Amino acid sequence: MKNKKDKVEAVEVKCVKCGRTQIIYIPREDIPKCPECKVNMIINELLDEGKSY
């Protein structure tokens, strides 16, 4: 039985080079690369609010 296990989580990712931040939703989205620096961004902050809306 499939539950709603694939819950999405908003995370803030950050470019370590220029400091650009972006909100993505995992696991639906992959960690993006910074469009300017072309480096992988890192997870800066989990924005789990525990709300369902």
Q: Which of 23, 25, 29, 36 binds Zn ion (CB under 5 A)?
A: 36
Report if residue 31 touches Zn ion, rule: CB under 5 A.
no
Q: Across 1-53, where does the E strand assignment appear?
A: 9-14, 21-26, 42-46
Q: Which of 8, 9, 10, 18 binds Zn ion (CB under 5 A)?
A: 18
Side-chain half-sphere exposure of 22, counting CA atoms within 13 A: 18
How near is the Cβ of 47 to Zn ion at its closest, in Å? 20
How near is the Cβ of 36 to Zn ion at its closest, in Å? 5
